[in-house]
Amino acid sequence: MGRPPCCDKVGVKKGPWTPEEDIMLVSYVQEHGPGNWRAVPATTGLRRCSKSCRLRWTNYLRPGIKRGSFTDHEEKMIIQLQALLGNKWAAIASYLPERTDNDIKNYWNTHLMKKLKKLQNGSSGSDHKSGNDHGFSSTSHSISRGQWERRLQADINTAKQALHDALSFENKSHLPELLAPSNGCFSNTNPDHQAFSYASSTENIARLLKEWVKNTPKHEESKCSSTQDSSNNAMNYMDSTCSEETRAPSTASKSGIDLSEAFDSLFGFGTFESSSPDEFSRSTSPSLVQDEIKSDPNTLAPLSTLESWLLDDQGKDYLSNFSFDENPDLF
């Protein structure tokens, strides 16, 4: 018994999304929330596969997505998380809430792989050869590989301790806020968050409309204005749902547990450059964890994959056995 096609292949449009389609999709999500993607084409009239709709939303239209070039800090995180987790792009993305897994995956494949290969070649000839023209390289490779591994191990131990403290029974009461949604995705269990996330999407939609208007020839203005009306309604909706008290509280500071310090330690960065403390707290509360907590709120919150791994001796074993030379496929 074969799996039925996810959508009717006949009459399904493929290829790049048009602004009109984007707006239809955004309108749908504003009305119904993300999810039930199968209903999207039928409800909106979009001639798109449900999966295509979901992908478009999660990778492009979703609130809180940051586009543009990656910062050094993000690069470092990706490199280290990739070394820890492998090609688990979704897991990595949960630690970079403003980036999508697809973005990270593309960035890894197109930029970081080359960069690391180049660096590896460079360092194989001479330990301190050039190639340190980027921030991460000077941090990651100015020290020897062995030193880097030892430091990472020490950092992980620190992070383990902090995470263990943070997730212990004593602090259980803090977990819901500590582990609030991190990535701008919607949580049906928390309407306040949903409101905030919707509000965040204003920026995306505004950008979308701006680009659309910019790219729309004069003779299409009438069409544009009519759709813009609907998106204005959408923005009104979003504005009405966004207020300061609905915003997610700054989680880490409230918890009294400095998770940021743990992850800062784990990733070895002195500062979280890009960001406000709030932003950092979101980045340190992976959605993975939230999903797991949702599954059984009455028990001690299970750890995320990474955290479990960190708290597990496997991690130690892995690290002590890890070698760049033995894992050429990683780079």
Partner DNA sequence: AAGACCAGCAACCGCGCTGTA
Partner DNA sequence: CTACAGCGCGGTTGCTGGTCT
Residue located via tokens 């000077």:
138
Could you count the other beta carbons within 10 Å of the beta carbon of residue 275?
15
Q: Is 330 in the site for DNA (CB under 7 A)?
A: no
Judged by CB under 7 A, which stretch of 105-113, 155-163, 224-232, 239-247 contacts DNA? 105-113
Cβ atoms of 180 and 278 within 8 Å: the answer is no
Binding to DNA by residue 67, rule CB under 7 A? yes
Contact 156, 315 (CB under 8 A): yes
Q: Given the rule CB under 7 A, which of 107-115, 220-228, 248-256, 257-265 is the region that contacts DNA? A: 107-115
Locate 185 and state its tokens. Answer: 């995705």
Q: Is 60 in the site for DNA (CB under 7 A)?
A: yes
Query: Which listed range, 36-44, 73-81, 148-156, 168-176, lies at the site for DNA (CB under 7 A)?
Result: 36-44
Q: Which ranges constitute the DSSP H helices of the chain? A: 19-32, 39-44, 50-56, 72-85, 89-94, 101-107, 113-125, 135-141, 145-166, 175-178, 191-215, 221-241, 251-255, 259-267, 277-283, 287-295, 305-310, 313-321
Output the six-digit token pair for 267.
């990733």
Using CB under 7 A, which residues numbered 180 to 239 contact DNA? none
Tell which residue, 55, 2, 57, has the closest CA to residue 29: 57
Q: Give yes or no for residue 106 binding DNA (CB under 7 A).
A: yes
Is residue 66 near DNA by the rule CB under 7 A?
no
Binding status of residue 6 toward DNA by CB under 7 A: yes
Q: How far is the CB of 123 from DNA (least distance, A)?
A: 21
Among 8, 31, 36, 327, binds DNA (CB under 7 A): 36
Q: Which is nearer to DNA, 51 or 129 (CB)?
A: 51
- Considering only residues 40 through 59, tell me which ones interact with DNA, judged by CB under 7 A: 48-52, 54-56, 58-59
CA-CA distance, 8 to 43, in Å (whole number)? 15
Please give the residue ranges that form the binding site for DNA (CB under 7 A). 1, 3-4, 6, 13-17, 35-38, 48-52, 54-56, 58-60, 67, 69, 87-91, 101-103, 105-107, 109-111, 114, 295
